Structure 1
Amino acid sequence: MTHDTDPASGAGRQSNGAHARSGRGDTDGHSEKTKGRGGKGLHRRTFLGGMAGAAGLAAFGAAGATFSLLTDGNDNEASAADATTATATLTVPDLLEGTASGGATSYTLTAKTGTGEVLSGVTSTTAGYNGSYLGPTMKWTTGDTVLLNITNTLGDDTSVHFHGAHIPPKMDGGPQNAFADGETWSPTFEIKDEAKTLWYHPHALGTTAEQVVHGLAGMIIVADDSDASAALPSEYGVDDIPIILQCLAVDSSGDVKYNVSGYLGAGLSYPVLCNGTNVDSTTLGFTATRKRTRFRVLNASPADIMTVQRGDGGTLTQIATDQGYLTEATEVTSIRLVAGARAEFVLDLEDAVTLQTVVTTGWIRGGSGTYDFLTVTPDASDSPADLPSSLNTITRYDTSAFTARTITLGQSGQTMTINGSAGTSMSSMAMISTTLDAEEVWTIKNGTQLEHSFHLHDVPFQLIEINGSTPTGVDLGWYDTFEVVGGGSIKIAMKFTDFTDDTYMYMLHCHLLQHEDEGMMAALMVTDG
């Protein structure tokens, strides 16, 4: 994407091939190959016409996301010839420099509007942090104290949520932290998280989808001094690479859509973006100067699911989920990310490899197909050491004495609910009250036929069941965002540590942003008891 800042403004799921998740199996195009050696992958868009109004919502949720994918019958043998030739260069977001003073590291962000090309050759109104689209990457270190000075020049209220961070509710950036145009919000907190990939984005009531789809999103890297971190690639932009994937809905004039009426409009395109660049007909290139390269992937789409895989059918070495390192590096054939989810993997390269994303429509209508988004070409002669045999120790919860709750995701027309309440205002939200150090197991029940992406603020959770099945493989890692298929359920366990407040609340919600804005959000109050 090319951008010109407006001068007047100054806006999960993984598969290891053997384990089928969510009761559906790996039927989402995971095995699809590039059509033709050295060419772009199969590009397929679903344009669903003739639907209008809320009456079509349930039908779209149940069936509108289906699509047919073809395979070329090639086997999984990888070779350099499988790599797609890059036609543009990967843009790596700037690393935001912090300023150390008074025992804290300060970061300055300005939310602003601008313009850019979401569709090639068409100007769109966009938004970003410190620029016209997306935002810089922040790198925090465990144990440090950070101070953020965030100024709003959007012309509307906003907030900035630090998605996945374990911080006090007063600093969490939820709806209670919204601040007006012209104001600066300055949260400060200690970094208690261990090494992981987080992200930041708006979270004000009713405007989250609108602001995020126009570009207000950025990545956060948490670094620590663990043995695993020392053994893994960590030089930002060199062998530690952020990948922000998005699928948007845009009309021919460049207007980016964010709500039901917009998505039901005629003549829409559904571009896929990687770090802000449209990859519908472009494959980005990255030259790896180290043989082992680490990739941090974020699905910043408002709704669509992104499945990352190799174009040659080879495996990815996954090292982390949303909330940090796995117990060990794990070979997977694909990494499925629902909206808001993250994962990390490494590639050890001898030949060029093309990364693809399989897009699955998550809400009403949208993009579906397979896209070659990045070709990684090695230009290195180093010899990386073997990966550590152990990355992390994850002690599985014994939930026999945990407090049990059921959280029901529901729908009434266009209104989305949690436990029967529509969270379109703070007063109308369902309230979940708990106490410090409480240990709980929640059954997240999807009472709709729509896809949902469940996100919990404050603490990470472990998966106990996925549609009645015991999790295995990478599903045994730590999460904060996870897929709940139509009519399905997940069971999760967590412990509420460190932070309490009698006024400020955390949120739990669907991270399909339109569902969140339509009411699928509840409040979580953690008190001293």
Structure 2
Amino acid sequence: MSEKKSKGLHRRKFLGGMAGAGLAAVGAAGATFALLTDGNTSKAAAADNTLNIPDLLEGTTSDGTTTFTLTAKTGTGEVVSGVTSTTAGYNGSYLGPTMKWTNGSTVLLNITNTLGADTSVHFHGAHIPPKMDGGPQNAFADGTTWSPTFEIKDEAKTLWYHPHALGTTAEQVVHGLAGMIIVEDESDASAALPSEYGVDDIPLILQCLASSTSGDVKYDLTGYLSSGLVYPVLCNGTNVDATTLGFTATKTRTRFRVLNASPSDIMTVQRSDGGTLTQIATDQGYLTTAAEVTSIRLVAGARAEFVLDLSDAVTLQTVVTTGWVRGGSGTYDFLTVTPDASDTPADLPSALNTITRYDTTDFTARTITLGQRGTTMLINGSAGTSMASMAMISTTLDAEEIWTVTNSTQLEHSFHLHDVPFQLIEINGVAPTGTDLGWFDTYEVVGGGSIKIAMKFTDFTDDTYMYMLHCHLLQHEDEGMMAALMVLDS
């Protein structure tokens, strides 16, 4: 059983690891972003430890297009409590504002890079053209602005945005470059669910990082194997190692959107009293019906949504499981939700979504092998440390495929597919049940295990720009566990 963190234990050193950790990836390739500061200092929580809610970024709409403006910048903040770290963020010193997109609308993003190094911005989980996806081919230099524009084809769901340049993803994300995206639609389910941002629709960005006690945030194997590390846990940018944040719910029913933005560790969300969470969505949108669950396990990059109908205070916990060579461990009380409401919400809809399960009888079959060669991570035998060296998968518009993703290592992997959502067909040889019958873009593949996933490639083709498929343990991605996917006209 995981040990509950008591106050004062937030700097406990954890020297555990996982099987085969000695073969994990070595330090990320590529230039590091400049350790500059611009006077921005992050103090995420109020003095009374109230939950910090990321700002909602206001767009400007003209001629049917909504424009959002982001600047990737460096700053300083507290990752380890009481210690100043060099950090980075979008429009601030740590993390980024939340964006709201609407199904059927068109958005334009003007994103300026002031990091001192190349970056890109990937819209994780979004179904958009590959030229706008923000992968390695979309990297842009310091001092320049990238301006992707696209129609929002996604239905209601929780997405996020983060860097995705070759060799520097882990470094840039752990220093704070990440933010949430909420996609809204006009479905009956959306109309029936809480949707007032910051009031009854609450983002929870969870992270477990690695740092020296002096605040130097680590991102590669050299850093993770250094001595004297601590593994701070953060919620919306606030350290919760020895602090439980508070949120006053002014509506009886509150919706929570949870993102695991950790580089590698697994976060499992649960109630401290053992009660249930009413899960309504996975990575890629609503479940068919709301599900009562006692916990929600999120590998790196994964998201979920749940609601709570409260008459009494409830404390949410995250159980941290080491995902890489070293990492966090234990149970943390990160948020107490205290109701202050008198309304009586209507019953949740009996149906939230219609998910037609794929009949994969005639689907094209592929095998994707997650492997390693010494300290290099591989997909199908190739290391994706450059566009030229990575394996490339070619498919066609409207192709229906079933992939067996096999983990030939004993390491933990978090498999992420760009472009389209997938259905789970098998998990380690067993058919999925419960919430695993939803739509996903990121899913766990345990050491020696496998998953079978099915998908259909719709809407977008390109003979130059490619999507990515990769491990979302960011160190593994940087060290080669990434391949390219090109969707061509049929």
TM-score by length of 2: 0.93
Structure 1: 5+ residue runs without aligned partners?
Answer: 1-27, 61-85
Shift of residue 47, structure 1, vs aligned partner: 2.1
Match of 1:47 in 2: 14
Match of 2:176 in 1: 215
Change (3 A) 1:55 1:475: closer
Match of 2:37 in 1: none
Structure 2: 5+ residue runs without aligned partners?
Answer: 26-46
Q: Deviations over 1:134-167 (max 9, x none)?
A: 0000000000000000000000000000000000
Does the alignment pair 1:309 with 2:270? yes
329, 335, 351: which one aligns with 1:368: 329
AA aligned to 2:412 is E
Q: Deviations over 1:486-509 (max 9, x none)?
A: 000000000000000000000000
Distance 1:490 1:432 in 2: 18
Residues 41 and 370, structure 1, Cα contact 8 Å, conserved in 2: no
Identity over aligned pairs, percent: 86
Does the alignment pair 1:173 with 2:134? yes
Distance 1:42 1:190 in 2: 48
1:76-475 mapped onto 2 (5 Å cutoff)? 88-475=49-436
Change (3 A) 1:356 1:43: farther
Residues 85 and 215, structure 2, Cα contact 8 Å, conserved in 1: yes
Residues 10 and 232, structure 2, Cα contact 8 Å, conserved in 1: no
Change (3 A) 1:280 1:420: same
Distance 1:256 1:44 in 2: 14
Shift of residue 253, structure 1, vs aligned partner: 1.6
431, 451, 476: which one aligns with 1:490: 451
State the SS of the aligned residue for 1:329.
Answer: strand
Q: Deviations over 1:410-433 (max 9, x none)?
A: 011210000000000000000000
State the SS of the aligned residue for 1:515.
Answer: helix
Shift of residue 364, structure 1, vs aligned partner: 0.3
Match of 1:71 in 2: none
Does the alignment pair 1:57 with 2:22? yes
Distance 2:353 2:477 in 1: 33
Q: Deviations over 1:204-232 (max 9, x none)?
A: 00000000000000000000000000000
Residues 320 and 326, structure 1, Cα contact 8 Å, conserved in 2: yes
Q: Deviations over 1:342-373 (max 9, x none)?
A: 00000000100000000000000011000000
Match of 2:437 in 1: 476
AA aligned to 2:211 is V
Match of 1:21 in 2: none
AA aligned to 1:298 is L
Distance 1:518 1:416 in 2: 6
Distance 1:229 1:381 in 2: 22
Distance 1:231 1:55 in 2: 47
State the SS of the aligned residue for 1:425.
Answer: coil
State the SS of the aligned residue for 2:334.
Answer: strand
AA aligned to 1:489 is S
Distance 1:103 1:465 in 2: 42
Residues 13 and 230, structure 2, Cα contact 8 Å, conserved in 1: no
Residues 152 and 183, structure 1, Cα contact 8 Å, conserved in 2: yes
Distance 1:339 1:491 in 2: 19
Match of 1:65 in 2: none
Alignment root-mean-square deviation, CA = 1.9
The aligned length equals 468
TM-score by length of 1: 0.86
State the SS of the aligned residue for 1:285.
Answer: strand
Change (3 A) 1:284 1:198: same
